[in-house]
């Protein structure tokens, strides 16, 4: 199975091997949204997955 290279560039790998990414759709058009939802968009998402699935996103 091929790795989606465009998506792997948006991921960050922590020291312990966790995958962290930003929430999608929070770059622009945020003027009408509340400040609470804008702050929630700044938080990142940690992916919970097994090691076998995680190895697809890690560089070999």
Domain boundaries of the chain, sorted by first residue: 7-26+35-51
β-partners of residue 36 are none
pLDDT by residue (tens digit) across 8-60?
788 888 888 788 888 888 888 889 999 998 888 888 888 787 877 777 767 66
6: left (phi over 0), alpha (psi -120 to 50) or beta: alpha
pLDDT at 26: 80
Which regions of the chain does DSSP assign to beta strands (E)? Answer: 12-13, 19-22, 44-47
pLDDT at 32: 92
pTM of the predicted model over 0.75:
no
């Amino acid at each position: 199975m091929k790795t989606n290279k465009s998506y792997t560039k948006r991921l960050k790998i922590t020291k312990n091997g966790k995958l962290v990414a930003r929430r999608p759709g929070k770059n622009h058009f945020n003027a009408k949204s509340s400040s609470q939802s804008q702050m929630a968009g700044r938080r990142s998402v940690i992916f919970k997955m097994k090691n076998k699935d995680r190895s697809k996103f890690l560089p070999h």
